[in-house]
Structure 1
Amino acid sequence: MSQQRCALIPATLIPGDGVGPEIVDATLFVLEALRAPFEWDHQTAGLAGVRDHGDPLPPPALESIRRTQLALKGPLETPSGGGFRSSNVRLREEFELFANVRPARTIVLGGRYDDVDLVVVRENLEGLYIGHEHYVAIDDDPHAVAMATGINTRHGCRRVLEYAFDYAVANGRKKVTIVHKANILKALTGLFLETGSELHERKYKGQVELETLIVDACAMKLVLNPWQFDVVVTTNLFGDVLSDLVAGLVGGLGMAPGANLGKKAAIFEAVHGTAPDIAGQGRANPVALMLAAAMMLEHVGLPDLALRLRLAINDTLNVDKVRTRDLGGRASTAEFARAVSLRV
Structure 2
Amino acid sequence: MAPITGGAAAIGGEQLNFAKLAVSDYNAKNGTNFSIVEGDTQLDAGQASTVAPQLVSNQAVIGVVGPAGSQEVESVGPAFADAKMAFVSPSATRTSLTSGAFPTFARVIPTDDVQGPTDADFMVSKLGAKKVVIVEEKTSYGAGLSSAVEKALKEKGVDVKRIQVSQKQPDYSSVVALVDADTSVVFATFQIAANTKALANTLQQQSKKAVVFGSDGSFSADFDVPGQYVSSFAPDIKGIPSSKAVADAYTAKYGEFGTFGPPTYVATQVIMTAAAKDCTGTADRAKTSSNVLGVSIPDSILGQPITFTDKGDVKDAKFFIFKIGDDRKPALVN
The TM-score with structure 1 as length reference comes to: 0.32
Higher RCO structure (Cα 8 Å, ≥6 apart)? 1
More strand by share: 1
Q: Which has the larger radius of gyration?
A: 1
